[in-house]
Amino acid sequence: PDPRDKLFCHIAEHTRRQQNKISIIGIGHVGQAVLASLLFQKITDNIAIYDRDEDKIKGELLDFQYAAMYSSNTHIEGSTKINVIVNSKIVIITAGARRQKGDTRITLVQKNVEVFQDIIPKIVQYAPHAVLILVSNPVDIMTYITDKISCLPPGQVVGSGTNLDTSRLHFYMSHKYNVAAESCKGWVIGEHGETAVIAYSTLTVGGTYIEDINFKMGESCDIEKWSDIHNEVLTTSANIISLKGYTNWAIGLSVADLAHTIITNNKSVHPVTVSAKGFYCITEDVYLSLPAVLGENGVIEVVRLELSSKECELLRKSADYLYNMQKEIKI
Ligand code: 6V0
């Protein structure tokens, strides 16, 4: 007789809840940080990882299976076969080509387009109802490309965008005024990159608009030197990369934060990459970050910010920059 029958009296079949399954595509530095963040914040108890590198998948799976002992009873499966993501509620995409010597920004994007043309239709085939969260860079362009390739309903494809840049802004605000970061509000919008816009008109501390007490924010005569914070927010990634070769922990937690909002359908507002056509006189089909209400099916609503004319102009410049890059891509 099976010793198991001595241990248990069998009543019903074991099942695993499917409605909270989250999959990660690409288990490099960023994918690992996303996985660790999902696991230790107990955002889901059902995770799948997919990568084309078999040793990496096997190694990370073994390592994380034991790490999961320190979290709730989380089930993690991994494979080089993409059907491991079947029935996911969220698919987080971090796979992408790495920049090689001599690669321009466009050649890198074009390599990623080829990767995405292969994997996106398969993701849609195995997880047609999943919200896709794009992380691979350049994230705004990759969100645009994924939306076009996937043909999913509006809002189901979303980019991590400036959610991380906005946290960085709150960090600097919190240090500047010596208050908790949760009491510092306001958005970084536009491209996740050099043309990102800190929307000064949206910044509040403890409910007070900073522009109401400092009319010169960001100008050369600004005694608070907001332009320094602007530079810090936008150059942080490059600084981290020059020191450790990549960034992963903050983006991992930032993406887990988005996943938490979506899986719990809690309708928090996050600045994420969405279709921006029609907002702030943007006429081109570009994707960039705007604050959006997120729920279980992705983007529900985009917040209409009352931006100043200068902020609108900067946002349109960001859109132009992205559109010019987009024009050179062959999908
Ligand atoms: P990495 O460490 O090289 O990991 C990439 C992983 O993707 C590797 O494990 C590859 O094997 C895998 N991969 C590549 N192509 C495929 C494929 N066709 N199918 C399956 N797996 C594949 O890179 P890292 O994790 O550091 O970065 C991943 C991406 O995230 C890059 O595009 C970064 O530029 C981007 N980031 C985006 C950020 C954001 O704020 N949006 C922040 C940091 C990094």
Residue having the nearest C-alpha atom to atom 30 of ligand 1: 136
pLDDT of residue 185: 98
**What would you measure as the largest C-alpha separation in the chain, in angstroms?**
84
| 29 Cα to the center of ligand 1, angstroms | 7
Strand blocks (E) in the chain: 22-25, 46-50, 75-79, 90-93, 131-134, 157-159, 184-185, 188-189, 197-198, 204-205, 208-209, 269-275, 287-295, 298-302
DSSP-based helix, strand, coil % in the chain, nearest 5: 45, 15, 35
192 is annotated as an active-site residue: yes
Q: Give the up-direction half-sphere exposure of residue 299: CA atoms within 13 A in the CB hemisphere.
A: 26
- Give 10-residue mean pLDDT values along the chain (331 residues): 92 84 97 97 95 98 93 91 97 86 80 94 98 96 97 98 98 97 98 96 97 93 94 92 93 98 97 97 96 98 97 97 92 81
Task: Give the N- to C-terminal CA distance of the chain in Å, as an integer.
Answer: 60
Helix (H, G, I), strand (E, B) or coil at 131: strand
pTM over the 0.80 mark: yes
| 112 Cα to the center of ligand 1, angstroms | 10
Which atom of ligand 1 lies at the shortest distance from residue 53's CA?
A: 11
Name the residue of 135, 233, 258 whose CB sits within 8 Å of the most ligand 1 atoms, as the mutation to test its pocket. Answer: 135
pLDDT of residue 274: 98
Q: If we measure between CA atoms, which residue out of 51, 24, 20 comes closest to residue 37?
A: 24
**Residue 157 · residue 171 · CB < 8 Å:** no
Residue having the nearest C-alpha atom to atom 23 of ligand 1: 28
Which atom of ligand 1 lies at the shortest distance from residue 254's CA?
A: 40
| Annotated catalytic residue within 10, 75, 129, 192 | 192
Residues with CB under 6 A from ligand 1: 26-31, 51-53, 56, 94-96, 98, 115, 119, 135-137, 139, 160, 164, 192, 246-247, 251
pLDDT of residue 15: 81
